[in-house]
Structures are given as structure tokens and as C-alpha cells.
Homo-oligomer: A and B are copies of this chain.
Amino acid sequence: MQVSEGRSFLGRFKYGDDLLLSLNAFCENNGITLGVFSVIGAVSSAKMGYFKQDTREYTECVILDETLEITSCLGNMSLNDSEIFVHAHITLADHNGKCFGGHLMPGAKIFAAEYHIKELTGAELNRSHDPETGLNLWPVRKRTEDRG
């Protein structure tokens, strides 16, 4: 879906706060309902989920209780049941360079987190239950609708 570009934000989240909740609060405080973001930095813990594609459940989890670099945290924000919903995937590295990744859940404590948040406007994307996958997803646009 074609969107317009809104405001752009660059900054740092607060030491000790939760990474996913910080992204969510930023959107709420700034009235962002659609956008994309990236974060780099470091955390002192992390919790990541994995969607079981066969049973259609987020049942698996990896919890890391150590200091890790955020080598990449990418995602988007849109509406889910009229509430802002941040969808973030993260790649982390331990101090031997070993990487861990997954769907970011609450539980990642910020050591330092530098964000770039790009608001998108001119359209509304709402997540709703997708029977094919069991996830809350955006509708897939027909090819003709993609044409800008």
C-alpha cells in the first residue's frame, strides 16, 4: 500500500526501560499510528518469541539474561483493535560475537538504545486475525491496488 512520509525522529531511549514498551510508549506519546523504525544499542536481558507455524501459537520463547549488543532491531507500528501495535524483530550478539534473534517481546532491558522512527501517513493499516496463518496481520493488497 502506498503511504506518505510523516515525521522523522532520532534519539535514545532511557537506560533501564523495556525496549518494546519504550517503542510503544513513544508512539502513544507522539500520536504515531503508522510507521517503521530501526534501533541499535545494547541490552542487559532479552526475551524473544517464535510462532509455531504448525500449531499456530506463540508458545516458544528464548530468554537471555546477559549483556548483549543489539545489532539490529527492525519493525513497524500500526493499529491492532484500534490500539497502536509495535511489531519488532531483533538480532543480538553476545560478547563472543554469537548472534541470537527472534520476535521481540517485553523483557529486553535497555542499556543504550538509539532509535530512528519514521512516521508514515495517508493510509491506515489495521491488523486482524488471518485464518491462513493464525497471526494478526495486515490485509494483502491485490496487485492493482499496489500501483501508486
Contact = CB atoms under 8 A, between A and B. Distances in A.
Contact of A11 (B53, B93, B111, B146): B146
A141 B11 contact: yes
Contacts of A60: 95
Contacts of A51: 42, 67, 69, 111
B4 A103 contact: no
Given A42-B53, A67-B52, A69-B103, A9 B143 contact: no
A84 interface: no
Contacts of A146: 9, 11, 26, 29-30
Main secondary structure of the interface of A (DSSP, over half): strand
Contact of A14 (B11, B69, B140): B140
Given A1-B11, A36-B116, A50-B69, 20 more contacts: A4-B8, A5-B8, A9-B146, A29-B146, A40-B76, A40-B89, A42-B51, A42-B53, A53-B111, A69-B89, A69-B102, A70-B89, A71-B74, A71-B90, A72-B101, A74-B74, A76-B116, A91-B91, A91-B101, A112-B133
